[in-house]
A and B are shown apart, each in its own frame.
Chain A
Amino acid sequence: MIIFILAALVLLMIQGGLSQAFGLTGNTVLLFGLSAIFYSKKNPLTISLVLGLMMDLASGLPDGIFLVAAPVTIFSLKSALNRFFSKRDQRYIEFLLVLASVLTFYLISISMIGLFNLLNLSAYVNWKRLIFDKLWLDLVLSAIFYYPVVWYHNRTLKLSRHARPV
């Protein structure tokens, strides 16, 4: 778990650094969490909470927004995956789920920001810019960034099948 947290922290740093240098904004930390949930059975609740807390700390928003948004997103997607797609080939559906997770994450985050505003916790954001500008870019970047994860997973699956004794 410590290695996972450190890896997530490094990924968050990379995301922040690249955002400063190139202006790229893809939410790689969320993708990291999703891939961990899809491909690993290890404590998804803790993983999503840690990721949410990290995003909260790194952002200028009050703590708690991503702490709620990340677990809700990840668990709703995990639930959808288990309920509807568990017995099918997940390679292509995963992309759809990733895009859906980005969309869900945005919707929940914006809802949480609205809730924080109601509680006078000063969480102002330009939601129009978020929805009409940043969201679309994030969707595209998430699909691009997630491709290597799926590719690597498929490759390791094939290798493990070949290695299986007859």
Chain B
Amino acid sequence: MRFIYTKTFRRLFVVLVLVAFIIVSDAKGYLSKAKGIFFEVYGAGTSFISNSAAKTKNFFATFLLIKGLSHENDLLKQKVDELAFENARLKAAKQENQTLRRALNFAEETELGLIPAVVKFLDPTGFTQTLMLDVATDAELKLNAAVVSQPGLLVGKITNIYDNAVEVTLITDPSIKINGIVVDSGASGLVTGEHGLSLRFDLITHNEVIKPGDKILTSGLAGDFPKGILIGEISSLSSSPSELFQKAFVQPAADLRNLKFLFIVAQ
């Protein structure tokens, strides 16, 4: 029997005609209504499944996040214990320091008077490194007063005082210049903003020893910022021996992208 008379050929022929019909119909747009119905059904089903899958994914992501938080919590608890010990040691040292100061007739260090403030909003344009604070109306505020986050980490300084808000320029703004001192070596220099990315520690003489990881405090020399507020930590050195001064990049200690409650130093 010839192939064209077989059942297989007949089937193949029907399939080819069907395929050709569908291709032509689709190209001419005759299948648009049928496709529309399919898209409605398929789209609804797919979006339902996609949403369900996304919810499940979020659920497990939250679970994993909680698991991670538990681990982080353990680490923080350990850190708190260490810091509690350190704090007790420092309190004893402070007491001894005060006693010795009195014995030598040194001037007492004044406490930082902190005025609480809430961050209203950040500069939405991103052109400046400023934010607006909501402060109690009866608070006595001064221009250029330092602004810190709760643990005494430097955030910025007041650059404008309005009736119901206070403008704070962050330390990462290039217009801010802070006299800093390295905790370990006592090397002093000038900390300036680097366009919102990090800070630059400059004007450090070559006989001073600085290294990554060193903490920098405000030296209190210029008067704007009180002495002893933590600015940040040296992340890398960027100077060469041929340059006149040493330079370093400094990572701000305060999380400047996540500011909510701040304190104005009213010293």
**Is the beta-carbon distance between A17 and B57 smaller than 8 angstroms?**
no
If A62-B23, A62-B27 touch, whether A17 touches B53 (CB-CB below 8 Å) is yes
Contact A57 B53 (CB under 8 A): no
Set of chain A residues within 8 Å of B160, measured between Cβ atoms? none
A58-81 interface bits toward B, Cβ cutoff 8 Å, 1 = contact, 0 = none: 100011100110010000000000
Scan residues 1-53 of chain B and give those whose CB is less than 8 A from a CB of chain A: 11, 15, 18-19, 22-23, 25-27, 31, 35, 38-39, 41-42, 45-50, 52-53
Give the docked Cα–Cα distance between A71 and B38 (Å): 21
Shortest distance in angstroms between A12's beta carbon and chain B's nearest beta carbon?
7
Answer yes or no: A126 CB below 8 A from chain B CBs: no
A61 CA to B241 CA in the complex, in Å?
Answer: 63
How far, in angstroms, from A161 to B18 measured CA to CA in the complex?
Answer: 42
Are A45 and B22 interface neighbours, CB within 8 A? no
Spot the interface stretch: A18-26, A85-93, A97-105.
A18-26
Residues from chain B with Cβ under 8 Å of A17 in the complex: 45-50, 52-53
Taking residues whose C-beta sits less than 8 angstroms from the other chain, chain B's interface range is 20 to 34
Give the contacts of A88-119 with B (CB-CB under 8 A). none
B209 at the interface (CB under 8 A from A): no
B65 at the interface (CB under 8 A from A): no
Q: How far is the CA of A23 from the CA of B41 in the complex (A)?
A: 21
By the criterion CB–CB under 8 Å, are A20 and B26 in contact?
no
Residues in B with CB closer than 8 Å to A18 are 49-50, 53
Contact between A20 and B15 (Cβ–Cβ < 8 Å)? Answer: no
Tell me, yes or no, whether A121 is within 8 Å of chain B by CB.
yes
With both beta carbons as reference points, the residue of chain B lying nearest to A17 in the complex is identified as B49
CA distance A57 to B45 in the complex (A): 14
Residues from chain B with a CB closer than 8 A to the CB of A121 are: 23, 27
Bound CA span A49–B16, Å: 11
When chains A and B are docked, how far (Å) is the Cα of A63 from the Cα of B22?
A: 7
Residues of chain B contacted by A140 (CB below 8 angstroms): none
Known: A21-B57, A45-B11. A53 touches B50 (CB 8 A): no
Name 5 A/B residue pairs within 8 A (Cβ), A-sorted. Answer: A17-B46, A17-B47, A63-B26, A67-B19, A71-B15
Binding site for B on A (CB under 8 A): 9-10, 12-14, 16-18, 20-22, 45, 49, 53, 56-58, 62-64, 67-68, 71, 121
Closest 7 CB pairs of A and B: A17-B49, A21-B53, A13-B45, A64-B23, A63-B26, A16-B46, A20-B50
Q: A12-B42, A67-B23 are in contact. List 17 more A-B contacts (CB 8 A).
A: A13-B42, A13-B48, A16-B45, A16-B49, A16-B50, A17-B45, A17-B49, A18-B50, A20-B53, A21-B49, A21-B54, A22-B57, A53-B22, A63-B25, A64-B19, A64-B26, A71-B15
B residues with CB within 8 A of A? 11, 15, 18-19, 22-23, 25-27, 31, 35, 38-39, 41-42, 45-50, 52-54, 57
